[in-house]
Amino acid sequence: MNQSAASHRASELHLQLNDHNHNYYILAQPTITDREYDDLLNELIALERDHPSLATPDSPTQKIGGEPLETFESVVHPIPMLSLSNTYSKQEVADFDQRITKLLAQTTHDYVLEPKIDGVAISLHYEHGILIRACTRGNGHSGDDITQNVKTIRSIPLRLRTPTPPNFIEIRGEVYMPTEGFQALNLTRLDAGEDAFKNPRNATAGSLKMLDSSIVATRPLDVVLYAVGKVDGTTFESHTALLAALSEYGCRTPPKTWVSSDIQGIIEGLDALQAMRDEFPFQIDGGVIKVNDRSLYDRLGYTAKSPRWAVAYKYEPEQAETILHAITIQVGRTGVLTPVAELDPVDLAGTTVSRATLHNEEEIHRKDIRVGDTVIVEKAGDIIPAIVRVVLEKRSGNETAFNLPDNCPVCDTPVVRTETEVAVRCDNLHCPAQIKSWIRHFASRNAMDIDGLGDTLVDQLVDLELIQTPADLYTLRIEKLATLDRMAEKSAHNVISGVDKSRQQPFWKFLFALGIRHVGAGSARRLADHYLSLEALMAADQASLEAIDDIGPIVAASIRAYFADPTALAIVQSLQTSGVQTTQPPPENKETLPLNGLSFVLTGTLPDMTRGEAGEKLIKMGAKISSSISKNTHFLVAGESAGSKLIKAEKLGVPIIDAPALSQLLESGQLPETPHP
Ligand code: IVH
């Protein structure tokens, strides 16, 4: 396809994919199947591969993430990101209303109440409707540039859906991880021997801080947008008008708001909000009350930390009292014995709680938790209920202290206790509990992604000793499967074809699937990219492993120990024989990119693209973009009305590239002739 046909088709695909994203993620009304969507996206990916200039910063392909970054650049917020002052009682909310009424010396105005989302604040910068930058709140003055990561969030438009966007707008809101996605993510992490995230907010913050956006793309992040910072080219009369405009632009706004001209109506709204708090897909930790008329904001003003026109009403963490009637033990994939509190069912923050994790033996002893105790459970924004303390006054003396057993409760092998770890583990690789969770992990989405192999089937297969290791999956026969309880021939076929397809999974997924302790999906990718084959990885020594980003001494030692274990080795070899991928082609070599190692600064207005777009194109060619000129800058790209940066560059003798020279550079990859300093 020639360049112009390709560019035409790419614009068509942009429009279609943007519409489908909007239908799916904002309206929740998809009009095509996932498969059809993937086909369109893959067509665009292929076009951009053949015609790299089509990979614009607003391309829907940005949603799959890009090359890992080395660090995040710092961004100064055009307007500081303040926080809200908190109230904890309805009286304090009424006091807030009193203060406002006094300050305004007018009797009527509306308030808007919306949920206070317990996530991570972000700011999105749109220039002429295109998302050019996204940053964290940081210290309120400046935050980290996390554009690449934010672009992978499906519900964030890369281009505002309006023909007349403002010249510039900073849209602010909250990134969160939906409750369901959070739970699923934690299961995969525990399976990989990684620590679970404490709550959805930590999981969100941890995800946004990752340098590899292609991993962020796999995290179930979402967003609600509810405020603006700097706006140039339009104004919003009221908060409700602002929310309506954001919605028009294709942004997700709070799913429920209450408007009332008297504070009593808002206080009733707070009760209604609390009653429905579990219906939201995100965690809320209260409500936010805002004056609706935005023209009053300047009059009401700001304190050093927060605006006077808004206030947060925060819920106290919810707690409940119940009886701990037993402590049971779960054996995980890595053999760790985890004690679990079995509780008399109790209502807590909208759900019935009957179990709580006790983490480890040390925690039980520290909190002096005994079987039969009356305990306080809490779910403060945390989905996983935890035991806060024992109600000592209610002890009868019949309670019994708890210690983990000396033998594995599933296979009866003596457990191992080490000085360095609080964990107690069962070291028997043949323990059915470990085999089951290993196979579940092996077959899970991020690993070999074996369709049709559900938990019950895994239990059956292991209990009947039809499989003992993941390698046995590849020798399963349809006839055998079809004889199992509740297994029809068609489902048996599905399982076999799922197993068959998994042979094509990329090498890194296979590495992750092996379930080496401390090797999560991210490290598996880095190991695969570095060693390119299982043989090379198996031959790697401690120092070579530690030289890889994010692989520390513990992870390196764990990898070495895994491949030194004869049982593990036999399984790996058998998997290799069954035809799974244990190699991968080398990644694209950065050193061959034309602008590798060169540092650019951009300033002024360019005629046919924004600075952000130009920057992204230069980065794709290997360049580094900085925000300020120094003697280490290799080139300054200067458009129309360039100011102080141009002067500084001239002073320092940094070569200057004008707009035509930039176009030429982007086309040809050839640096223009510029006088050298
Ligand atoms: S308005 C000037 N609205 O709560 C501050 N904030 O404790 C404007 N938050 O930093 C913020 N839900 O991250 C606003 N509906 C909502 C919110 C909300 C959550 C967060 C936000 C802010 C923090 C303040």
In tens, the pLDDT along 357-366 reads 888 888 899 9
Highest mean pLDDT: which range of 205-209, 331-335, 645-649, 651-655? 205-209
Average pLDDT (661-669) is 89
CB 333 less than 6 A from any atom of ligand 1:
no
Distance 53 CA to ligand 1 centre (A): 38
Residue 675 has pLDDT above 70, yes or no: no
Nearest CA to ligand 1 atom 23: 83
Pocket flag, ligand 1, residue 114 (CB < 6 Å): yes
Mean pLDDT calculated for residue range 310-328: 91
pLDDT at 81 over 90: yes
Q: Whose CA is nearest to atom 1 of ligand 1?
A: 227
d(Cα 603, Cα 433) in Å, to the nearest integer?
60
Q: Are the C-beta atoms of 259 and 112 separated by less than 8 Å?
A: yes
Ligand 1 probe mutation, 77, 79, 84, 225, most atoms within 8 A of CB: 84
User: Which of the four pLDDT bands, split at 50, 70 and 90, describes residue 617?
Assistant: confident
- State which amino acid sits at residue 427: D
Give the DSSP letter string of 562-598: HHH-HHHHHHHHHHHHTT---B-PPPP-GGGSTTTT-
Average of per-residue pLDDT across 227-236: 97
Please report, rounded to a whole number, the percentage of residues in the chain having pLDDT higher than 70.
98
Query: Ligand 1 centroid vs 306 CA: distance in angstroms?
Result: 10
Mean pLDDT of all residues in 267-287: 92
* CB half-sphere exposure, 523, CA atoms < 13 A: 26
The mean pLDDT of 548-561, rounded to a whole number, is: 89
**Contact 286 CB / ligand 1 (< 6 Å):** no
Distances, alpha carbon 296 to alpha carbons 100, 289, 300, 555, in Å: 10, 15, 6, 56
- Is the distance from the beta carbon of residue 117 to the nearest atom of ligand 1 less than 6 Å? yes
Q: Is 256 a catalytic residue?
A: no
Q: Report strand pairing: 310-314 vs 86-87.
A: parallel
Pocket of ligand 1 contains residue 307 by CB under 6 Å: yes
pLDDT mean over 249-263: 96
The protein residue with its alpha carbon nearest to ligand 1, atom 22, reads 83
Q: Are 471 and 574 in contact (CB under 8 A)?
A: yes
Structure tokens at 296: 């009053």
What's the distance, CA 605 to chain centroid?
34
Q: 319 has which bridge partners?
A: 378
Between CA 668 and CA 676 the distance in angstroms is 20
Q: From the CA of 104, how far away is ligand 1's center (Å)?
A: 23
Q: Ligand 1 centroid to 226 CA: how many Å?
A: 8
The residues with which 75 forms a beta bridge, in sequence order, are 143
The residue contributing the CA closest to ligand 1 atom 13 is 121
Range with lowest mean pLDDT among 105-109, 318-322, 483-487: 483-487
- Summarised one tens digit per residue, pLDDT across range 141-177 is 999 999 999 999 999 999 999 999 999 999 999 999 9
Strand, helix or coil for residue 473: helix
Measured between alpha carbons, how far is 591 from 460 in angstroms, rounded to an integer? 51
Residue 608 has pLDDT above 70, yes or no: yes
pLDDT band at 455 (very low <50, low <70, confident <90, very high): confident
Mean pLDDT of the chain: 90
pTM of the prediction? Answer: 0.61
Over residues 628-659, the pLDDT tens digits come to: 788 889 999 999 888 888 988 988 889 999 99
d(CA 90, CA 350): 21
Query: Which atom of ligand 1 is nearest the CA belonging to 114?
Result: 15
Q: What is the pLDDT of residue 46?
A: 92
Are 185 and 127 in contact by the 8 Å Cβ rule? The answer is: no
Cα torsion 637, 640, 644, 648: sign: positive
Mean local confidence (pLDDT), 601-623: 85
- For the chain, what is the radius of gyration of the CA atoms? 29
Best probe residue, ligand 1, of 135, 288, 294 (max atoms within 8 Å of C-beta): 288
pLDDT at 381 over 60: no
**Can you tell me whether residue 239 is helix, strand or coil?**
helix
What's residue 150's pLDDT?
96
CA of 81 to the centre of ligand 1 (A): 10
What phi and psi values does residue 22 have, to the nearest 5 degrees?
A: -65, -45
Beta carbons of 338 and 360 less than 8 angstroms apart: yes
Rounded to an integer, what distance in angstroms lies between the CA atom of residue 276 and that of residue 603? 49
Q: What percent of the chain has pLDDT over 90?
A: 61
**Residue whose entry in the numeric block shows the structure tokens 């007018």:** 106
Q: Does the CB atom of residue 312 touch ligand 1 within 6 A?
A: yes
Place of tokens 């973009």: 625
Residue 293 is predicted with a pLDDT of 97
Output the pLDDT for position 380. 58
Catalytic residue among 63, 90, 102, 116: 116
174 C-beta closer than 6 A to ligand 1? yes
CB 268 within 8 A of CB 162: no
Looking up tokens 């030692």 gives 557
Q: Is the beta carbon of 288 within 6 A of some atom in ligand 1?
A: yes
Say which residues have a Cβ less than 8 Å from residue 346's Cβ, sequence separation at least 6: 320, 321, 322, 352, 353, 354, 377
Give the model's pLDDT for residue 677.
39
CA distance 581 to 377: 47
pLDDT digits (tens, 9 = 90+) for 298-313: 999 998 889 999 999 9
> Quick check: 676 pLDDT over 50?
no
Tell me how far the alpha carbon of residue 174 lies from the centroid of ligand 1, in angstroms: 8
Q: Which atom of ligand 1 lies nearest, measured to the CA of 115?
A: 15
Question: What is the Å distance from ligand 1's center to 84 Cα?
Answer: 6
| b/e sequence 221-252, b meaning 16+ C-beta within 10 Å | bbbbbbbbbebeeeebebbbebbebbeebbbb
Q: Which of 217, 206, 210 is nearest to 68 (CA)?
A: 210
pLDDT surpassing 60 at residue 612: yes
Six-digit token string for 278: 């579990």
- For residues 548 and 375, what is the distance between their CA atoms, to the nearest angstrom? 46
**Residue for token pair 């989405």:** 445
Mean pLDDT for the stretch of residues 561-581: 94
Q: Please tell me the distance from the alpha carbon of residue 324 to that of residue 345, in angstroms, as a whole number.
A: 10
Q: State the Cα–Cα distance between residues 606 and 604, nearest whole angstrom.
A: 7
| CA of 120, closest atom in ligand 1 | 13
- CB of 308 sitting under 6 A from ligand 1: no
| Highest mean predicted confidence (pLDDT) among 107-111, 191-195, 247-251 | 247-251
Is 273 a pocket residue for ligand 1 (Cβ < 6 Å)? no
Q: Looking at residues 271-290, what average pLDDT do you find?
A: 92
Residue among 174, 162, 177, 170 nearest 244 (CA) = 162
The answer to whether 363 and 386 are in contact (CB under 8 A) is no
- Per-residue model confidence (pLDDT) at position 613: 81
H-assigned helices in 361-431: 361-366
pLDDT digits (tens, 9 = 90+) for 488-534: 778 888 899 999 999 999 999 999 999 998 898 878 988 998 999 99
What's the gap in Å between 199 CA and the centre of ligand 1? 19
Structure confidence at residue 572 (pLDDT) = 95
Instruction: Output the furthest CA–CA distance in the chain (Å, rounded).
Output: 88
What is the distance between the terminal CA atoms of the chain, rounded to a whole angstrom?
A: 42
Identify the CA nearest to 130 among candidates 164, 155, 163, 157: 157
Q: Is any atom of ligand 1 closer than 6 Å to the C-beta of 285?
A: no
Q: How remote is the CA of residue 287 from the centroid of ligand 1, in Å?
A: 9
402-451 pLDDT, tens per residue? 999 999 999 999 999 877 777 898 988 789 998 998 999 999 888 999 98
d(CA 248, CA 490): 46
**Rounded Cα gap, residues 15 and 186, in angstroms:** 35
Q: Is 162 in the pocket of ligand 1 (CB under 6 A)?
A: no
Nearest to 87 by CA among 294, 266, 279, 259: 266
